[in-house]
Structure 1
């Protein structure tokens, strides 16, 4: 099984992070938790996925390996995107929705405003990814 662990790890991180995100939304929003499924929220699933494989590489192949360096670069791009670009998209969606509500005759659907992540949500994703990468390293080393 260990030979497939690097391929399974990002998928596992996606599932674990998604389940955690739904649990947090269920506690926060109750019956309306399903409305909050998608981008944004705690923990950052994108960060969990990329950090899981990056940390898995670090724990097993080595912190000084070129693969770990590549993983860190990809993780940095993911975090910058989540906190910058996608957060800006969410802010733009809020303003577009304000303008759309001023014209109730138009049948334009409202845009999803929750797109990016706060630093806390990113740290949550890093935590999930790091823990999963560490656990996976135990399986890979057997």
Structure 2
């Protein structure tokens, strides 16, 4: 398989890996210990934002802004970004309220409260996604790979 097509598969993975490693590093510094439990939902940068923005940016770099593929990718990105900022934050707030209300119960649900992203965390993910897409785009256009 040529790198030109394979790049559409590896770009979101590389963006996810980059954002995840950076999130682990940032959370470890904040917690002053290895923060394996804090890599999941929420935090800086947003993995979801990095994944969708890397795919959207790669399509823009390789195919252009006036293509149907870019329009579909941009639409998907907006849905994911809005979900990360609004819906998932609300889920986290509800989890916190349920955990608080259930403090006197014998069996506590212990729901994860850290969900969703701030706009800054989403922006961080978008920047990582675009940078990863650009780097892989440059690599894919090098003559030695074809």
Q: Cα distance, 1:4 vs. partner?
A: 0.5
In the alignment, what sits opposite 2:89? 87
TM-score (norm 1): 0.93
8 Å CA contact retained: 1:83, 1:116 = yes
In the alignment, what sits opposite 1:130? 130
How many Å separate the matches in 2 of 1:44 and 1:93? 20
How many Å separate the matches in 2 of 1:101 and 1:37? 26
Q: Size of the alignment, in residue pairs?
A: 140
In the alignment, what sits opposite 1:74? 76
Q: Matched residue of 2:33: which SS?
A: helix
TM-score (norm 2): 0.91
**Unaligned stretches of 5+ residues in structure 2:** none
Q: Matched residue of 2:102: which SS?
A: helix
How many Å separate the matches in 1 of 2:75 and 2:140? 23
How many Å separate the matches in 1 of 2:39 and 2:98? 21
How many Å separate the matches in 2 of 1:79 and 1:3? 26
8 Å CA contact retained: 1:82, 1:116 = yes
8 Å CA contact retained: 2:42, 2:115 = yes
Give RMSD over aligned pairs: 1.2
8 Å CA contact retained: 1:84, 1:116 = yes
8 Å CA contact retained: 2:24, 2:39 = yes
Q: Cα distance, 1:140 vs. partner?
A: 2.3
**Unaligned stretches of 5+ residues in structure 1:** none
8 Å CA contact retained: 1:3, 1:140 = no
8 Å CA contact retained: 1:97, 1:110 = yes
8 Å CA contact retained: 1:100, 1:108 = yes
Match of 1:23 among 22, 25, 42: 25
